[in-house]
Amino acid sequence: MADRRASGRIAMAVHGGAFNIAPDEVDPVRLGCRAALEIGLEVLRGGGSSLDAVEAAVRSLESNGEFDAGAGAFLDEDGEVSLDAGMMDGATLATGSVAAVQGVPHVVTLARRVLESEYAVIVGPGARRFAERHGVETCEPPTQIHPREKARWLASGGGQAEAGWATKLFGDTVGAVALDRDGNLAAATSTGGSPGKPKGRVGDSPFVGAGVFADNHSAAVSTTGHGELIIPLVWAKEAANLVAGGLAAPEAAKAAVALLKRLDARAGLILLDSEGRIGLAWNTPAMAYAAWPADATEIVDGPRR
């Protein structure tokens, strides 16, 4: 179902989390976002759908190892990886979410399979079984553990998250939003969640309306930050509502960040409207991103030193 405002223009943005980006992380996260964006843009330029583009870009970010997603995911209280992802199709409003998944390296692809199924959400061991049944790549959970994260987990004493973990501005969750030639929007978000999280903890990322949202009549949004506060703000949907109310994406993104004040939440988002305008906004020290608005002549990316 193509949107009637389809103009044949493409646009896309990706993020690699809004957090306290250390100086030695600045280039790797920016370049990782840029590489993922280029993969997504290639899909769109070839006439591919926005769903294909966000899936391809997020897969790249999941493989990268720099981010809290896929190969680089934080470890939970047991020193294990468990992943969450969500995807939404702005044309049909179909959604797919997976959470607390172990042994699936590309949970964004699993979320896509759920989106294409008669279900909306699959969690836990059942999600891995769903992956096996639907031909999505699986692995043995221990092979997902990044040595950097193992060292971090050991250095923090292992076990549960420290008190006040959220104020340490952890998060390098990843996400993507895209507008294809047919005028269709899509969004996807993928994460390893918070460091030392209790088994089964799920943040905002896979929740439609909180961590991910797309509707051709408003916007595509992917968020990152303190999940426990993004969820009650229903932040992605609130941001899209600002576009539906008449704001262009850049202004809507800024206004959405102002909404975080109510809960003193730290977060960031990427937002793409159906005209191909992009909003990038955060209230953390920095956000990793790369973007190509419909009128772009070159990629916009950050952070930079």
Q: Which of 72, 86, 96, 193: binder of ligand ASP (CB under 6 A)?
A: 193
- Taking the least distance from each CB to ligand ASP, the nearer of 59 and 266 is 266
Q: Which of 50, 205, 218, 222: binder of ligand ASP (CB under 6 A)?
A: 205
Q: Which of 227, 276, 302, 303: binder of ligand ASP (CB under 6 A)?
A: 227
| Site membership for ligand ASP, residue 284 (CB under 6 A) | no
- Taking the least distance from each CB to ligand ASP, the nearer of 131 and 267 is 267
Q: How many residues bind ligand ASP (CB under 6 A)?
A: 14
The beta-strand segments (E) located in 139-205 are 174-179, 185-191
Active-site entry in 173, 189, 223, 224: 173
| Residue 68: count of CB within 10 angstroms of its CB | 26
The interface with ligand ASP within residues 59-78 (CB under 6 A) comprises 68
Give the CA distances from residue 122 to residues 114, 215, 238, in Å, rounded to whole numbers and listed in that order: 7, 22, 25
Q: Which region, judged by CB under 6 A, interacts with ligand ASP, from 31-39, 166-174, 242-250, 292-300?
A: 166-174
Is the distance from CB of 82 to CB of 100 less than 8 angstroms?
A: yes
| Site membership for ligand ASP, residue 194 (CB under 6 A) | yes
Is the distance from CB of 87 to CB of 208 less than 8 angstroms?
A: no
- Taking the least distance from each CB to ligand ASP, the nearer of 216 and 224 is 224
* b (16+ CB within 10 A) / e for 194-232: bbbbeeebbbbbbbbbbbbbbbbebbbbbbbbbbebbbe
- Taking the least distance from each CB to ligand ASP, the nearer of 95 and 223 is 223
Q: What angle do CA 258, 260, 265 make, to 5 degrees?
A: 145
| Site membership for ligand ASP, residue 173 (CB under 6 A) | yes
Residue 254 φ/ψ, nearest 5 degrees: -65, -45
Residue 95 annotated in active site: no
* Residues recognised as catalytic: 173
